[in-house]
Amino acid sequence: MSEASSLVGLSTEFLKVSSPEPHIALVEILRKPVNAFSEECWTALAQVFNKISLQPTVRVVVLASALPRLFSAGIDLSALGGLGDAFSNEPARRALQLREQILSFQSCITAIERCPYPVIVAAHGIAFGLSIDIMAACDVRYAASNTVFSIKEVDVGLAADIGTLARLPKISGNHSLLHELAYTARDFSAAEAEKLGFVSRVVQGSRDEVLSAALQTARTIAGKSPIAVLGSKHLLLHARDHSVQENLDYTATWNSAMLQTADMKELVKSTKTKTKPQFAPLGKLPSKL
């Protein structure tokens, strides 16, 4: 089975998976009319990313919306309507059961971060609520100039609990603006998202333009050593959650193995011969690096 057909086979009712170019997986959200996430949809998102993580020919993933008008309106409010209704009426037991449900939801979105390959997200139009959680779990975030964001959770009576408040303080270089946006739930533009440090590039236009830019970056990444790129993602995430010295020690251990890769010899050879390097597939990866 070819790479393209094997990835297409991962598509679900609400997620379209394809391979527009070698080593690139494109995941498009498709739940009309506004890509609002139900439990079935966010569970499928986790399953798709877990399966992509096991694809040895993939080197980079692009996440986008298949709808021309918007990225996502966030969570389907009907999914919140009956939250906890089936649980115990005793407060302590109810809290334990609700906690388990929240942890499961968090894990579904964190599947994007757990993916060993870099994930580039391309947002356009509306990107509200859960959109921020999803984007924060990605490695590279691009936004079309027409994107409108909102950390919407306080407007439905809760603190964002699926990743926004955990990841954005580590992403943002402007904590004052971050706090303002989280407390007010006001809309903010792609330009403000760039000011916040949430997105690294604002692309003039809408879906087609931002997706094209994301695919161009994906193309560049896909041409690099897959061992080097996978290691870079792994070590960057480790650095985020550990001290400098802890990361240096861990990196020394990691690279004591990874510096033995054949990719380095291939790069030297291609430089001498002025040819494009040909890297071997990564092979079957462990479920956790």
pTM for this structure?
0.94
pLDDT, tens digit, 9 for 90 and up, residues 163-193: 999 999 999 999 999 999 999 999 999 999 9
Helix (H, G, I), strand (E, B) or coil at 151: coil
Could you report the per-residue pLDDT of 42-66, keeping only the tens digit for each?
A: 999 999 999 999 999 999 999 999 9
Q: State the pLDDT at residue 79.
A: 73
Bridging pattern class, strands 188-189 and 140-144? unpaired
- The contacts of residue 174 (CB under 8 Å, 6+ apart) are 195, 196, 197
Distance of CA 286 to the CA centre of its chain: 20
What digits encode the pLDDT tens for the residues 229-287? 999 999 999 999 999 999 999 999 999 999 999 999 988 888 889 899 999 988 777 77
Who's near 40: CB < 8 A, 6+ residues apart? 13, 14
Q: Which letter does DSSP use for residue 156 in this model?
A: G
Q: Please say whether the beta carbons of 34 and 92 come within 8 A.
A: no
Nearest residue to 287 (alpha-carbon basis) of 137, 139, 115: 115
CA gyration radius for the chain?
20
CB 148 within 8 A of CB 127: yes
Token look-up 């004591």 returns: 256
Domains located in the chain, CATH noted: 3-222 (3.90.226.10), 226-273 (1.10.12.10)
